[in-house]
Amino acid sequence: MKIVKFKANTMPEAIEKIKKDLGPNAVILNSKETKQGGLFGVFKKRQVEVLAAIDPSPVPKKKTKSIPLKQEKQNNVVELNQKMSNKDLSKDSNDEHQKVLAEIKYVKELLLTNSFQSDQPFTANYAIVYNYLLTQEIDEEIAKNIVESISKKYENDELLPEQILPFVKNEIISLLADVSFTGISNKAQIIQFVGPTGVGKTTTLAKLAANSVLKDKKKIAFITMDTYRIAAIDQLKTYAKILNVPIEVAYSIAEYKEALNKFSNYDHIFVDTAGRNFRDMQYVHELKNMLHVENFNTVTYLVLSLAAREKDVTAIYNQFIDFPIEKIIFTKLDETSTYGTILNMCVNNKKGIAYITNGQDVPNDIISPDEQFISELIISRYGHERSS
């Protein structure tokens, strides 16, 4: 790793030097204010001293063996011809074939349930549904309560797993009945986004900001406190330029409050924060103090990735337990096939979900969810799980 010390009259000037010498992927390790020159210790000039670093030799990506395009097309044609031929040969017996496959899958599930769940509290068909909910990373206690509630109501009915699923959906809707799914209100003037690095805070902020400008015709401004990554500042500046809105970079609590006062007559002020190691409690404490704002109507959203493991998401949330988190925003719906984390967060932590993002497109690829959407999402993978 290459580490370089930079001196400049102001922090923005130092940032420009860092970008010029090390590039936009450089990270700031430390910064401090110094005094230079002067006569007999008087009239010293204030300067900033910044320590920045860049990895000059990133780990190369492993090369994967690829099939030539021409050969791939030929293979696709051969495969398609085989499929069409098989389809013609089995056209008359296709329905029967599908029934046999369904029965085989069902028997396979029964065998797996009986083999690995000898202490299973449910009968076979309910056990299949219970195990599916666990594969969706739904908390074990929540999954058990859902299936138990259904089995007690319909204990005299011999229901197949496919017939149980609609009741699962209704149980999930009931669990989410008191959960709030509202997004940004007109009263919210300061909208702060916190969360770990890599979850898509800046992109999510840009989506909501773009909708505020283009759809709601709001007067908005940007403030970024993500001064750890040079590229993050440039990314938000690009969005600000596209939307033709002002932006301020805050390197301290004082500068943050100064920027808020500057934009005090704006409808919404969107605030981006640095994604750092949130197992570092000192940093979490500093961020909490920085985000404490008086005399403004403020909401804070915790941004979490659905592509992360459920245990990691829970651990991150617990680091923010003392923050005034209004609601959760989940990102990367398009990068996962397990959705139980959403239900766990709502039920175990009594937190609402403001938005869910499902792609990188700005201002699109953002969803305002409700209990119906989440319940359908959770049961939607059942057929896929059975066929895998």
Domain boundaries, the chain: 2-54, 99-179+370-388, 190-369
What is the Rg, in whole angstroms, of the alpha carbon atoms belonging to the chain? 27
Least confident piece of the model among 107-111, 215-219, 360-364: 107-111
Dmax of the chain from CA atoms?
101
Which pLDDT score, from 0 to 100, does residue 91 have? 55
Which pLDDT score, from 0 to 100, does residue 278 have? 65
Give the residue from 228, 305, 312, 296 showing the smallest Cα distance to 262.
Answer: 296
Which pLDDT score, from 0 to 100, does residue 218 have? 96
Mean pLDDT of 142-158: 90
Which pLDDT score, from 0 to 100, does residue 80 have? 46
Which pLDDT score, from 0 to 100, does residue 62 have? 46
- % of the chain at pLDDT higher than 70: 78
pLDDT band at 328 (very low <50, low <70, confident <90, very high): very high
Please check whether residue 167 is in contact with residue 154, taking contact to mean a CB–CB distance below 8 angstroms.
Answer: yes
Written as one letter, the residue type at 179 is: V
Integer angstrom CA distances of residue 306 from 142, 149, 198, 199, 327: 18, 27, 12, 9, 15
Mean pLDDT of 309-322: 89
Distance CA 280, CA 301 (A): 20
Which pLDDT score, from 0 to 100, does residue 19 have? 86
The set of residues, in sequence order, having a beta carbon less than 8 Å from that of 382 and lying 6+ positions away, is 132, 161, 162, 165
The set of residues, in sequence order, having a beta carbon less than 8 Å from that of 19 and lying 6+ positions away, is 26, 230, 234
Most confident of 26-35, 64-73, 172-181: 172-181
Which pLDDT score, from 0 to 100, does residue 288 have? 77
The residues with which 224 forms a beta bridge, in sequence order, are 249, 272
Q: Is the pLDDT of residue 3 over 60?
A: yes
For 117-200, where are the alpha helices, taking DSSP H only?
124-135, 140-153, 161-175
Which pLDDT score, from 0 to 100, does residue 105 have? 53
Which pLDDT score, from 0 to 100, does residue 237 have? 93
Please check whether residue 329 is in contact with residue 303, taking contact to mean a CB–CB distance below 8 angstroms.
Answer: yes
Distance CA 28, CA 139 (A): 39
Q: Is the pLDDT of residue 119 over 80?
A: no
Q: In the CATH hierarchy, which fold is given to the domain comprising 190-369?
A: Rossmann fold (3.40.50)
Which pLDDT score, from 0 to 100, does residue 109 have? 53
Q: Cα–chain-centroid distance for residue 71? A: 39
Sign of CA dihedral 139, 371, 268, 224: positive
Which pLDDT score, from 0 to 100, does residue 217 have? 95
Q: Mapping DSSP to helix (H, G, I), strand (E, B) and coil, where does residue 237 land?
A: helix
pLDDT higher at 140 or 33:
140
- Burial annotation 95-124 (CB, 10 A radius, 16+ → b, else e): eeeeeeeeeeebeebeeebeeebeeeebee
Mean pLDDT score across all residues of the chain: 82
Please check whether residue 224 is in contact with residue 250, taking contact to mean a CB–CB distance below 8 angstroms.
Answer: yes
Which pLDDT score, from 0 to 100, does residue 192 have? 94
pLDDT higher at 207 or 96:
207
Integer angstrom CA distances of residue 238 from 1, 232, 233, 249, 270: 28, 10, 9, 13, 15
Distance CA 357, CA 210 (A): 14
pLDDT higher at 120 or 374:
374
Q: Is the pLDDT of residue 147 over 70?
A: yes
Quick check: bond before 363 cis, omega within 30? yes
Distance CA 272, CA 281 (A): 20
Sign of CA dihedral 277, 282, 288, 289: negative
Mean pLDDT of 346-371: 94
